[in-house]
Amino acid sequence: MLHALREYGAKLGGEPGFKSREVRWCIQLSEEGKLLNIVPLGDGRSGAMLERCADMHGMESGGKAHFLVESAQAVALHFKPDEDPKAIDKGTRRHRFFTSMLAQAAERLPVLSYPSKLLADPTAVEQIRLMMVDKRVKPADWVTWQVGAHDPREDGEVQQWWRDWRQRDLAGNTKSDSTALPGGMMCLLSGNEVPPLAKHSKITGLSGVGGLSMGDVMVGFDKAAFQSYGLEKSSNAAMGAGPAQEYVDALNQLIRQQKEANFKNPSRRTNAMMVYWFKEHLPPEDDPFSMLYGMETDEQQTVAALAQARRLLEAIRSGERSMLGDNHYYALTLSGASGRVMVRDWMEGQFAQLVANVEAWFADLAIVHREGGDRFAPDPKFLAVGGALVRDLKDLPPATTSVLWRAAVAYLPIPQPLMAQALDRFCSALVKDEIFNHARMGLIKAYFVRKPLGKGHMKPYLNPDHPDPAYHCGRLLAILAKLQYAALGDVGAGVVQRFYPAASTAPGLTLGRLVGNSRNHLGKLDGGLSYWYEQQIADVMGRLGDKFPRTLDLEGQGLFALGYYQQLAALRTPKKDCKDSNQDGETT
């Protein structure tokens, strides 16, 4: 996993001592060094991602500041009105360190002389602070500089000054966590003999899934219990500074991309984060993960993901897109816990197999539309399936997300606990007369499809030849519910609301009584309709044999639910919309 991340990170061109940052503000100076303005960066919702910002080591010890690009607090003593005195003291020390470094650099770099002179003047610092207050700059917002049309951060001489300063400081500060430990060890990533890095840089962006806002470590040994053979800190997993920086850059970049996608679609936010990449670049329209991931809210705008995956797979198999067959995918499921990155799952494999698995996922989830007829429900995106298991998507546990993700990407069976969870939500919604959830019904169906011999018996639509009596018990309840409404109209709590839990667990004790009572309902209908319902009941009873099953286990209850749903859909006409379907007297 780390080797794949390092390979991806190497393409980003990063190096130790530099980091990409989301910078929200830029202090603009004229060519003569006069303060002009403080302007926002980015799109208004987030700042601009700036590459190669200097990243100071040993920040945990306090008192240090990053070079050139820093927070508004460190640059201009911009604190919250009610800031804690200790925080003010710490921020003041960081400001002094920041201005001191800038002054050192300005001695050799004329481009930095104007920012340095500005911050050396307390009156100018106060002017900058007041401008920040006026523009509602937050103390924690990152700030960069512009002198005329020049960006000092991108200046090659400025970057080289920072490299030289950093190397001197690391060499003279043996207590720094970023200092390489003495001695040589084999790097786990490169295979070369290197001084092992004492502490790795942090992974940022996981605060929404349990991580810390200041970042989390992927590789860390900060307690004696984690260390072995007398090795100190991260020498327990020895890596050189360069390779370690590459995997950190890769993860930060992947997380940043995923966060941007989640920001555009808030419904994609869960308690775990899935990040992925490909060995060779793919255009967005060929990305199987984009077909799989996300959640559509407008069914009319939902892309037919199954058809899209099939077209791509056929193009690979036919040789039209043969180059895609040699590509590889890599996928991580991440969350944070107590300052550490939690890798909940790791998958990699051939691109063609990924496309085949995504195609199979949508095929197995395919289910007839709740309105019936020949119409199928839209292909549900991955998080719509996960959301069908809980009241709110934010309640979906990271472990469940990981298991479901692996089932989709690697074509694994649906675990029975997930089917049980979907069934429980289905029963609850049914009793409350809520609308049918297509993704929930598709997941229950997929559970049986992925069982041995399941494909032969479980169809997206009604299967009158299904061999299991539990399925036909569910069909029978749907017919009896329709019959009751045809005879009596809306009676409030109907057959389903009153008897579904009992009928789905102990049909032998419930369905016989309901069938007997159906004679009263048949007597209230005209001859043609009464005869039609009698034929429907007789057909299902013929499939059941001599008697109803006495009780049903969990899988039997799942088949009962599918039989009920698919029979109800079959009884409806294509012309009825969801509103009309509620006139059936049962859940739509």
Per residue in 464-485, pLDDT (tens digit) is 999 999 999 999 999 998 998 8
Q: d(Cα 274, Cα 290) in Å, to the nearest integer?
A: 12
Q: d(Cα 405, Cα 393) in Å, to the nearest integer?
A: 15
For residue 228, what pLDDT is reported? 85
Q: What is the DSSP letter of 209?
A: G
**Structure tokens belonging to residue 585:** 């007297």
Q: Tell me the DSSP string of 215-245.
A: -BBSS---SGGG--TT--GGGGG---HHHHH
Phi and psi, residue 20, nearest 5°? -80, 140
For residue 432, what pLDDT is reported? 85
Q: d(Cα 142, Cα 138) in Å, to the nearest integer?
A: 9
**Structure tokens belonging to residue 162:** 């920072």
- pLDDT less than 50: residues of the chain: 266-267, 295-303, 574-588
How many Cβ atoms are within 10 Å of 162's Cβ, its own excluded?
23
How many Cβ atoms are within 10 Å of 289's Cβ, its own excluded?
20
> Are the C-beta atoms of 327 and 279 separated by less than 8 Å?
yes
**Structure tokens belonging to residue 123:** 């009156």
**Structure tokens belonging to residue 405:** 């993700």
Q: d(Cα 339, Cα 2) in Å, to the nearest integer?
A: 19
> Are the C-beta atoms of 329 and 351 separated by less than 8 Å?
yes
Q: What is the pTM of this model?
A: 0.77
> Are the C-beta atoms of 350 and 265 separated by less than 8 Å?
no
Q: Tell me the DSSP string of 53-89.
A: EE--S-GGGSS---SSSEEHHHHH----TT--HHHHH
Q: d(Cα 54, Cα 165) in Å, to the nearest integer?
A: 11
For residue 319, what pLDDT is reported? 81
